[in-house]
A = this chain, B = another copy of it.
Amino acid sequence: MDRASVEETILAVIDCMRASNHCFSKCLQEEDLLMVAECIRLTKECSEVCALALNALETDSAFTKPIAALCAQVCDTCAVECGRHLHDHCQRCSEACLRCAEACRNLVAA
């Protein structure tokens, strides 16, 4: 893994972790909570997996690839769920998740 692609992945993971946490918090303030219940669950799990991926990427972990693969999987699911809602925070989270998933998959394939 070259340093440039690791750095690019780190930035995508940070952006996704931030967007997920923000979406989690904003969803909890929505009126129609039933509609975003799955979003609340997935954004928190997404931010937790991103935090683990960040540690792995930053420390040259031997498990960077399997952790990145898991991160891509969670991000993909979160992107689909958030993408179903029109709230700004959901749409932004969905986009950040897609970019993060793509960056992680590129790293795994490298």
Contact = CB atoms under 8 A, between A and B. Distances in A.
Contact of A73 (B28, B66, B74): B66
Nearest to A59: B25
A62 B37 contact: no
Q: How many copies does the complex hold?
A: 4
A66 B58 contact: no
17 contacts: A18-B58, A21-B59, A22-B59, A25-B41, A25-B59, A25-B60, A28-B40, A33-B34, A40-B40, A44-B44, A45-B56, A47-B55, A48-B52, A51-B51, A63-B77, A66-B73, A67-B70
Interface of A: 10, 14, 17-18, 21-22, 24-25, 28-29, 31, 33-34, 37, 40-41, 44-45, 47-49, 51-52, 54-56, 58-63, 66-67, 70, 73-74, 77
